Structures are given as structure tokens and as C-alpha cells.
Amino acid sequence: MRRVVITGVGALSPLGLTAQESWDNCVEGVSGVGPITLFDSSDYLVQIACEVKGFDPKKYMSPANARRRDRCQQLAIAAANQALVDSGLEITEDNSHRVGVVISSSIGGISTLENSVRQMVSNGPRRVSPLTIPMMMPNGPSGLVAIEVGAEGPALSVSSACASGSDGIGLAWQYIRNGMCDAILTGGSEATICRVGIASFDRLGAMSRRNDDFSMTPQPFDKNRDGLVMGEGACVLMLEELTRAKERGANILAELAGYGITGDAFHITAPHDEGAGGAKAIVQAMETAELNSSDVDYINAHGTATPLNDASETRAIKTVFGQKAYEMAISSTKSMTGHMMGATGALEAFFCIQAIKTQISPPTIHYETPDPDCDLDYVPNIARDECINVAISNSFGFGGHNSVLLLKKYV
């Protein structure tokens, strides 16, 4: 099996319009929560979200193409462009068939679908745009990025709810590891802050409604947590086979060494009470990396701030790590970015890379009141220096999807 390394990153998140800006604000404990501006939410029970602020798609594409692309696709193209530039990899006629794109989304162009349905109801079926399908399909980001950069290898998307971004990265890792590709742009993109997106998640009872005082929400692992805050954004990593990356003198950021994937077979939205599937996925990630629990220094938790998820994930971590679970740094960066759905796992993988690179564990902000069911070290409120050589990123999604990535310092 070939080794796989990360050589470039691009990101647009509620914390910044680049990967570095997102990380800098993450370490500083900046909250991305604010009033919804992407639509009029005055008649909604939820009026807050974590939006990507100041994004201008015309910096990455022509005005005409921007109009023909859903926000989910625009964000993906921008992040992929950043990652490709950051990697320094030149895609040519000679290597294009060995370069792939795996950019995932849990829902795809939901705003486009919403607008098309509204148009059909108001003006009839003949007024629906012929671009509706190309703009709403979840594989649109991968297809468009492949066209933009000229990548002729595998181009696809994974849809596994909140685990989509991580599973896409895991699949890309397998393709390179097994020799199908030499390099893949991979990650996730999501833009669900629209009328039907917010309303649907709120009806599930999953969202915080602290509209008037949002300065302390979301609160992952806190006893008073009351639900997630919807986020949006995109993050794309450039994965490369180690030998070829070294041959071209690439700047290697970290090694993607392990991947675990399981299903709960339990409930369509609720996690397994004991976190059994999540625990097994963590073990798989360590086994594929040929490491054990004593080697792991930091966990970027799924940590959505929903009562069931946080308690279940805490139990999963305890199951795998035993007493060491109490000695590890664990943080939920969703306390700052909100839940970016299919893009979250990719951004959190990048945060793990940065934790290894800078030897800093990012904080879980808004943490005030300990919960007896969540009694681990969640790096409350302030980032701190740590010795981090191996980091794990957990992503658990509706449908019982569990995805775990293991990243380590490249040596």
C-alpha cells in the first residue's frame, strides 16, 4: 500500500475566506454565529447561522458562470482553486488521467431546488430553469471542479450526511493508496442556509433557537447545550502519493495514515446510545494506520451540541481509549464554525493538520457548565499548546454513518 500525504489546502468557512484565516480565527476562539442574511428569516423560530461572509464567486469564475452555479458549487470551485494553487501541482496532458476529484456534499444545491419549486408553483412547469438539475445535483461540485482543472481521473461525490466530507477524503485516500490515482482534490462543500434547509432541520428539533442572545451558542459538550447552528462552506485538500510528491519537491503538510468507516444500523437520525459504531470506526482508523490508542494525541470531535450526539461520542471515545480518554485533548470546532454538514469533516481534517503543524489544540468555545455524561477534556474556551503528532477527526452522520480520519506528522 502506498503512503498518502496532504500537499495543499483551500477553505472558505464562517471563520474566513482562506484556510489560514479560518485556522487563525479558530485558534483565537472566534465565533462565526450571526443573524441570517442569506434570506429573510423574520418568521422563523431559528434566525441565526454560521454564514461564509464576504464571499464573491466572481473572484474565481466569470459572472456568467457564477449565475449558472449553485452556492454549494461556487464554494467548492473556490476552495479547490485555493488547494491546487497551494499544492503547486501542475495538471498537464501527461498526468491528468492520474488526477481525480472527490468533493462531497450531503444535500447539494438545495437553494436551486427550492427556487425552482417556487418558480414552478408560481408560474408553471415551463418556467423551471433548464439549469436546475446541473445546479442541484450533489455530484455537481466534483464534476465542475474536474472540468475547471482538467482532472481526468475519477470524479465523484459521496453522500453520507454529516460524514460526507470525511468519507470522500477516505475514498480518495483508498484510490491513491491502491494505485488508481496519484493525486486527488478532495473534501466537501455545503450551502444549506436557505428557507427549506433551516426549516427542515429545525423541525427535527436539532437546532439552537437562541436568536436574541447567540453569543453562547452552540455549546458542544456543555450541560446546557440546546442544538446545532447551521453552517456553510467548503474545504478541499490535495492528496498525493508520497513518492511523487517528494519527487516534485512538494510541501508536505501531514500524512493521511488511517480511515475508519462503519454503520450503526440503529436509527435514521439518532446515534447509537453507546456510540458503538463510532468506536469501531476509530479502531479501524488506528488499525489501518498501524497505530494504537497510546499513539493518539488529539481528537477533533464531531461535537454537534445536540444532547444525544455529544453524550454518544463521549462514550465512544471512552470505549476506545479507556483511562487515556481523560488525558487527551478533545475539541469541537463546530462551536465556532457551526455545523457545515457535508463540508465539516474536510475542514476539521484541516484543523487536525494545523494542530499537528502548530502543536496547538483549538478550543471548544461557549463551554460553561460540565455535563456528567460528557466529562472529558474538551479544551474549554482557550486554545493551548500540546504535543500533537497524531490526530483523529470524527464525523458521524444521520443514517448511522461513522467516518474517522487519522492524520499524523510526516516523517
Q: How far apart are CA 9 and CA 81, in angstroms?
A: 9
SS3 217: coil
How many residues are recorded in the chain? 411
Given 26, 181, 194, 302, the catalytic residue: 302
328-356 burial by CB neighbour count: b if 16+ within 10 A, else e?
bbbbbbbbbbbbbbbbbbbbbbbbbbbbb
Query: Is 97 designated active site?
Result: no
Longest C-alpha distance within the chain, in Å? 63
Q: Which residues of 371-399 are buried (b: 16+ CB within 10 A; e: fewer)?
A: beebebebbbeebeebebbbbbbbbbbbb
Residue 374: strand, helix, or coil: strand
Active-site residue, 302 included: yes
What residues contact residue 126 under an 8 Å CB cut-off, 6+ apart?
A: none
Please give the Cα distance from 37 to 320 (Å, whole number).
Answer: 42
Residue 8 contacts residue 85 (beta carbons within 8 Å): yes
Question: Which one from 72, 194, 339, 352 is the annotated catalytic residue?
Answer: 339
Q: Is 235 part of the annotated catalytic residue set?
A: no
From the candidates 50, 72, 162, 181, give the one annotated as an active-site residue: 162
Q: How many Cβ atoms from other residues are within 10 Å of residue 88's Cβ?
A: 14
Active-site residue numbers? 162, 302, 339
